[in-house]
Structure 1
Amino acid sequence: AGSKLILTPELCIPGYGLLDHFQELDTFTHSWEVLAEIISSPDAQDIIIDLGLPIRHNDVPHNGRVLALNGKILAIRPKIDLCNDGNYREMRYFTPWTRYRVDSYTLPHEIQELTGQTEVPIGDIIFQTLDATFASELCEELWTPDSPHIQYSLNGAEIILNSSGSHHELRKLDTRINLITNASKSGGVYMYSNQKGCDGDRLYYDGCSLIAINGQMVAQGSQFSLRDVEVITSTVDLDDIWSARQSRSRGMQAMKAHDFTRVKIDFAMTVKTRSNPKLRIAEAIKPRYHKPEEEIALGPACWLWDYLRRSTAAGYFVPLSGGIDSCATATIVFSMCRLVIAAIKEGDEQVIKDATRLCSGDDVSKMSAQDFCGRVFNTAFMGMKEQSSKETRGRAEQLANAIGAQHIDCNIDEVFNAVKNLVSNTLDFTPRFKVHGGEPGENIALQNFQSRSRMILSYAFAQLLPTSKGRGGLLVLGSDADHNQLAWRWCLPRC
């Protein structure tokens, strides 16, 4: 596309959600090996590349960005403000860099041999090409009150790069777009690249990379899709930034701004329009937002697909009670199936490959969402002859039929009575439900006999339903009022 600058997500080389693997030296070593492959590739020449990987400097681990051009390392920008609240625990693995500090970094031996360089700058740096100036900030730094981009902008940086590992939360995109447009409203380009998909952790990163100039959006990626890689591009006029920075109050603040070390790059980022008549400057667009109901249906569905295809399991299993929680979980699985079929119709080769494997090599191009759901989703109503109502049993079956899931209906009285009799004979005491005069402790115990029996049977069905058809096991999805859980064999990470 003729681009001069490419930005990738936070820690894009090893993946953001490695957790305690960031405490292993191999993670650092192999990340540099991958970086070497990238910067030496013929496809990665004549373009400035901003890559994310963990960095060790003086035996201190940092969350870092390495910027490279034509097989050479320009500099390293470590993360200054680490995210350490909510779902994030970056300070467990990394140490924040001190603002405005710049050191010299000794490159790994393999990189020295590849690039012919021994040392490069590391720290809080501004990059200056022949015709433009840019700086890099990382994810959380955009969300802090005194974001680095403020000082970068006052020092003349026209382009701010933000590599992010931001997970999906309901309506979080609204906040991101507000922060990004505000960061560029006083003049400048803001490029935002966010991780996309599930990288093995319990979070879904919702992508939606963005490019804004002077407070207006000019490019926006999709928030919920099954594509492994999505690239957005934009052509902007840097002269428009100068026009937007003519406020005298901004000029006075710029005169007082903190000085930065500058890395000068013998490289031109701009192209004269007269030398390329087909060049078109990007026009402002309106940000695209999903409705809350769409976010609820699409976000978890994308996570489920990514987890399923990477696990190499045969599909999902849900114990369907007919209540709102398990029905909602089943509906989200069907939402995943709809996304898969939509991606197949769009010709997504990776989705077609993964879906074909899950369907035992059958042609998936002519399948409906219900057809695909029947191949990857099993449900079961595990009731009691006396306690379970016809309504809940019927609702479970109706929903399963509507979405195309493979459904079984069984009663667990035999298992329940076996556990109850074992306890009664051992204790010489017969527990009773509260409605039959039992104490609260007896009532809870009997309810647990039912729920735990269903849990054991869920694992059994998940393992044996596909095995009886010569396929691998299923991932078990459970639900309660607080959260959904995913279980693979005996491992229970939250979903």
Structure 2
Amino acid sequence: MGRKVTVATCSLNQWALDFDGNVLRILKSIEIAKASGAKYRLGPELEICGYGCADHFYESDTLLHCFQVLKQLLESPVTQDIICDVGMPVMHHNVRYNCRVLFLNKKILLIRPKMLLANHGNNREFRWFSAWSQPRHIEEYFLPRMIQDVTGQVTVPFGDAVLSTKDTCIGSEICAELWNARSPHVDMGLDGVEIFTNSSASYHELRKADQRVNLVKSATTKSGGIYLFANQKGCDGDRLYYDGCSMIAINGDIVAQGKQFSLDDVVRSSFVIVYGLLCAVIACLYLLFHFFFSLGPACWLWDYLRRSGQAGFLLPLSGGVDSSSSACIVYSMCVQVCQAVRDGNAQVLEDVQRLVCDASYRPEEPREMCGRLFTTCYMASENSSEDTRNRAKELAAQIGSNHLNINIDMAVKGMLGIFSMVMGKWPKFRVNGGSSRENLALQNVQARVRMILAYLFAQLCLWAQGKPGGLLVLGSANVDESLTGYFTKYDCSSADINPIGGVSKMDLKRFLQYCAEHFRLTALKSVLAAPPTAELEPLTEGQVSQTDEADMGMTYSELSVIGRLRKISKCGAYSMFCKLIHSWRETCSPSQVAAKVKHFFKMYSVNRHKMTTVTPSYHAESYGPDDNRFDLRPFLYNTRWSWQFRSIISNSKLSAPKQIATCIMSSVMLG
């Protein structure tokens, strides 16, 4: 006979250091769990303070406020008669740990510290926490007096332990421990633990969800039992979007799964399970890339907007793939908001009404909502073509944004006039007889003027219309341009936030193809068909003569491959050459590959300093260029790369079999 086990897991839209909001969301999730008959409720990692506190974890205030929230939770009638499993940092013997606190009826049952910390990519847990290094060992933890007064306990167990009840045995994991080769659930399962829990703060990356689901399924495939996975959701104040998708597995099958992308602040997964009897299995749907990307950044933008205190977004819309992608993400955001309001989400409706300063407003249609929250502007110069102007205008009309046409020639001539007055010379474009230095400076002044005007209009265009508030400036520089530095420092790629900064040009094109079909935005067809161009040099007979790929010296398709080798595979110049002479052998000779690799590394190193000023971008995958958070490399290089390039040149002169043999030997030596 099986026995009934009623448990609850959830996803919460927590916000770093928002203790008032965080405790309300925790209590709401417990209330929902109890209403469904649950006797155990699991929440996400560090849910009391928010996972993204970063260096605020160093502050004693953060730990103090966490205990104050814990006291409020212990005293609340909502938390009675249910085992509550909450996350917070705890200092034990002057060492800071990332912990789970399990309590029932005003008694703390266990404080379980994290044993395996995440310390790669965006994760820096070793910076703030220590790992508990004593498996199957507990110590006595002395509670703060404020907690003692509520629980009547002076000390409680602290360490690696499981919770045994009359009916079952519960063991805890925390986030990265599930991903580790020596996951604690393996030994716990062999020791008879029946219910495994994992509180997580797993952020969204493209193509990552299936890995997470497979790990949860495999945790109970071998030894059986129930596995509960709770995850944070939303933007908690940084570049990451936590995508929820809490779930429950039984004996290797997913039996319940919460939404991966949702505007709800509290998302439940499932509650009632009969242990020993398999309920109907809920199939996991793995969304395709373009669908993922239409939802994740849009949800991130919504959280950022409603929590920023601003009244909408402003985007310089050029009619190209990048800015059109940013525009489509805003439109997708409006689609999701309208759907949430139709579904009866009172919190989303309240947020919309606050943003537009109209308590009677109810968004019904995404285009109309775009008109309330989104301003686009085409910043034309004498080097702009009618084609790009028309593409921007047509897309703006189809998504419903407030569209402005701004001519920047007067501002550019004013800047050049100041220079000429001081230096006595007027620079010329290359086609007019100017040098390469003059040509580059004339392109850069246009780009930087656009940035200044974008911020001016973002701050004052609502004021000019008699409306309150300001607008957030959106960026639209893709990851490939950031890697090569193919943008002007402090140009219109400089913005408040950038929803596409972690995505390649090739992936953005696939995303726009999806938007053209799914949202019926026919204007995107001409955007996709046009060659990418900055339009910063004079036109030739009214037509664009400058293209991005010609300027960069390689195609976006090639750059996407090179960028992934540089970022994800962590290839230096020589190892990249070794990989590419094999994968590109059908299209490029070794000398051509060598030339492309050398050209990329020269561009990369010359422009690396630009990464120190890159706009905070939505983290979409481990391809991001963010110097400050994700890509920790120098920004001053010896751009000659003399030793590395000599190795490439000497290898490129070898016969094909010797090239392969040399590269294989290098790979073996490097492990």
Q: Do both proteins adopt the same fold according to a TM-score greater than 0.5, normalized to the shorter chain?
A: yes
The residue number in structure 1 matching 2:90 is 55
Which of 115, 126, 130 matches 2:151?
115
Which of 412, 437, 443 matches 1:416?
412
Given that 1:75 and 1:122 are in contact with CA atoms closer than 8 Å, whether structure 2 keeps it comes out as yes
Shift of 1:439: 2.0
1:96 match: secondary structure: coil
The residue number in structure 1 matching 2:394 is 398
Which of 303, 306, 313 matches 2:303?
306
Given that 1:8 and 1:193 are in contact with CA atoms closer than 8 Å, whether structure 2 keeps it comes out as yes
The residue number in structure 2 matching 1:353 is 350
Which of 371, 384, 390 matches 1:388?
384
TM-superposition CA deviations, 1:6-49 (whole Å, max 9, x none): 10000001001111111111111111111111122112111111
Between 1:315-324 and 1:101-110, the stretch displaced more is 101-110
Shift of the 173–99 alpha-carbon distance from structure 1 to 2, 3 Å rule, reads farther
The residue number in structure 2 matching 1:251 is none
Alignment of 1:68 with 2:103, yes or no, is yes
Between 1:187-196 and 1:366-375, the stretch displaced more is 366-375
Which of 364, 367, 371 matches 1:370?
367
1:87 match: secondary structure: coil
TM-superposition CA deviations, 1:320-373 (whole Å, max 9, x none): 111110010011000000000000101101000001112221533353111111
The residue number in structure 1 matching 2:265 is 228
The residue number in structure 2 matching 1:194 is 231
Alignment of 1:214 with 2:251, yes or no, is yes
Shift of the 197–176 alpha-carbon distance from structure 1 to 2, 3 Å rule, reads same
Which of 202, 222, 234 matches 1:166?
202
The residue number in structure 1 matching 2:174 is 138
Paired letter, 1:494: S
Distance of 1:456 and 1:485 partners within structure 2: 10
Alignment of 1:38 with 2:73, yes or no, is yes
1:395 match: secondary structure: helix
Given that 1:317 and 1:476 are in contact with CA atoms closer than 8 Å, whether structure 2 keeps it comes out as yes
Gaps of 5+ in 1: 241-280
Alignment of 1:157 with 2:166, yes or no, is no
Given that 1:325 and 1:479 are in contact with CA atoms closer than 8 Å, whether structure 2 keeps it comes out as yes
TM-superposition CA deviations, 1:80-128 (whole Å, max 9, x none): 1111111111111111111413211111110000000010111111111
Paired letter, 2:220: S
Shift of 1:494: 3.0
Distance of 1:184 and 1:438 partners within structure 2: 69
Shift of 1:178: 0.7
Alignment of 1:177 with 2:186, yes or no, is no
Distance of 1:343 and 1:485 partners within structure 2: 32
Shift of the 94–124 alpha-carbon distance from structure 1 to 2, 3 Å rule, reads same
Distance of 1:134 and 1:396 partners within structure 2: 57
Shift of the 486–426 alpha-carbon distance from structure 1 to 2, 3 Å rule, reads closer
Distance of 2:90 and 2:161 partners within structure 1: 16
Paired letter, 2:399: I
The residue number in structure 1 matching 2:3 is none
The residue number in structure 2 matching 1:443 is 439
Paired letter, 1:402: Q
Distance of 1:421 and 1:353 partners within structure 2: 50
TM-superposition CA deviations, 1:369-428 (whole Å, max 9, x none): 1111100000111111x2100010011111111011001001100111111122223222
The residue number in structure 2 matching 1:456 is 452
Identical amino acids, percent of aligned pairs = 48
Shift of the 382–366 alpha-carbon distance from structure 1 to 2, 3 Å rule, reads closer
Distance of 2:227 and 2:82 partners within structure 1: 18
Given that 1:218 and 1:234 are in contact with CA atoms closer than 8 Å, whether structure 2 keeps it comes out as no
Distance of 1:219 and 1:106 partners within structure 2: 38
Given that 1:370 and 1:405 are in contact with CA atoms closer than 8 Å, whether structure 2 keeps it comes out as yes
Distance of 1:366 and 1:388 partners within structure 2: 36
Distance of 2:460 and 2:337 partners within structure 1: 25
Between 1:12-21 and 1:436-445, the stretch displaced more is 436-445
Given that 2:338 and 2:363 are in contact with CA atoms closer than 8 Å, whether structure 1 keeps it comes out as no
Between 1:20-29 and 1:474-483, the stretch displaced more is 474-483
Which of 304, 316, 320 matches 1:319?
316
Shift of the 143–341 alpha-carbon distance from structure 1 to 2, 3 Å rule, reads same
The residue number in structure 1 matching 2:282 is 285
Distance of 1:21 and 1:201 partners within structure 2: 13
TM-superposition CA deviations, 1:114-146 (whole Å, max 9, x none): 000010111111111111001111101111111
Paired letter, 1:225: S
Distance of 1:198 and 1:415 partners within structure 2: 37
Q: Which of the pair is proportionally richer in strand?
A: 1
Runs of 4+ in 1 over 4 A off after TM superposition: 483-486
Alignment of 1:238 with 2:234, yes or no, is no
Shift of the 292–494 alpha-carbon distance from structure 1 to 2, 3 Å rule, reads closer
Given that 1:379 and 1:407 are in contact with CA atoms closer than 8 Å, whether structure 2 keeps it comes out as yes
The residue number in structure 1 matching 2:608 is none
Given that 1:485 and 1:493 are in contact with CA atoms closer than 8 Å, whether structure 2 keeps it comes out as no
Distance of 1:22 and 1:449 partners within structure 2: 42
The residue number in structure 2 matching 1:274 is none
Distance of 1:167 and 1:54 partners within structure 2: 19
Given that 1:158 and 1:238 are in contact with CA atoms closer than 8 Å, whether structure 2 keeps it comes out as no
Distance of 1:18 and 1:441 partners within structure 2: 44
The residue number in structure 2 matching 1:278 is none
Paired letter, 1:127: L
Given that 1:309 and 1:354 are in contact with CA atoms closer than 8 Å, whether structure 2 keeps it comes out as yes
Shift of the 314–491 alpha-carbon distance from structure 1 to 2, 3 Å rule, reads farther
The residue number in structure 1 matching 2:129 is 94
Distance of 1:99 and 1:13 partners within structure 2: 25
Given that 1:358 and 1:375 are in contact with CA atoms closer than 8 Å, whether structure 2 keeps it comes out as no
The residue number in structure 2 matching 1:25 is 60
Q: How many residues are treated as equivalent by the alignment? A: 453
Given that 2:85 and 2:103 are in contact with CA atoms closer than 8 Å, whether structure 1 keeps it comes out as yes
1:3 match: secondary structure: coil
Using structure 1 for the length normalisation, give the TM-score. Answer: 0.89
Given that 2:196 and 2:225 are in contact with CA atoms closer than 8 Å, whether structure 1 keeps it comes out as yes
Distance of 2:319 and 2:74 partners within structure 1: 54
The residue number in structure 2 matching 1:494 is 617
Given that 2:340 and 2:348 are in contact with CA atoms closer than 8 Å, whether structure 1 keeps it comes out as yes
Shift of the 135–361 alpha-carbon distance from structure 1 to 2, 3 Å rule, reads same
Distance of 2:364 and 2:358 partners within structure 1: 13
Distance of 2:356 and 2:68 partners within structure 1: 36
Shift of the 395–458 alpha-carbon distance from structure 1 to 2, 3 Å rule, reads same
Given that 2:247 and 2:270 are in contact with CA atoms closer than 8 Å, whether structure 1 keeps it comes out as no
Using structure 2 for the length normalisation, give the TM-score. Answer: 0.66
Paired letter, 1:420: L
Distance of 1:421 and 1:88 partners within structure 2: 49
Shift of the 366–458 alpha-carbon distance from structure 1 to 2, 3 Å rule, reads closer
